[in-house]
Amino acid sequence: MADWRIERLDHSHERSEFACGKAPLDDFIRKLVSQYEKRNLGRTYVAVRGEEKRIFGYYTLTSGAVPFESLPEGASKKLPRHPVPVVLLARLAVDTLARGQRLGEMLLIDALRRSLTLAERVGIHAVEVDAVDAEAKAFYEKFGFVGLPDQELHLYLPIATIRAAFGD
């Protein structure tokens, strides 16, 4: 297994060679992420190996809210009838060179841990994700994400479920 480190993106990271095979995800890390960081629209964390600065995987977190009407019927019980605060896992991608090494799983677990820490500081009900395609949706579902009824690729995972999974 590679010696992966996950760290906050900065200018020293090499982004130009990242290729996961999905153009929107490749373009974001190569061309757009600096503007998102500078404008406080999201925070991106990257996976690097050893002392290298080449990015092999990344994810971006930002804040969001899920409309009350978009929650599954059972999940909306005992919640006020207004948008529910969430951490949006806006992107998660693994370079083709790192496939099969469980880096996606490692990145997701790191994102969920950071979300749990945030939930201790501010009110967050869940982690939300808009999967890029059916393959990504299946990946998230393996980790307990549940589909939301408003869109086929829209999923969420309650903070209470994350807390229980980590034994916190």
Active site residues: 140
Helix (H), strand (E), coil (C) string for 102-156: CHHHHHHHHHHHHHHHHHHHCCCCEEEEECCCHHHHHHHHHCCCEECCCCCCEEE
Q: Among 161, 26, 135, which residue's Cα sits nearest to residue 91?
A: 26
Cβ neighbors of 115 (< 8 A, separation 6 or more) are: 61, 87, 89, 124, 127, 159, 162
Query: Two tokens at 3?
Result: 């010696």
Count the neighbouring beta carbons within 10 Å of the beta carbon of residue 100: 8
Encoded amino acid at 154, one letter: H
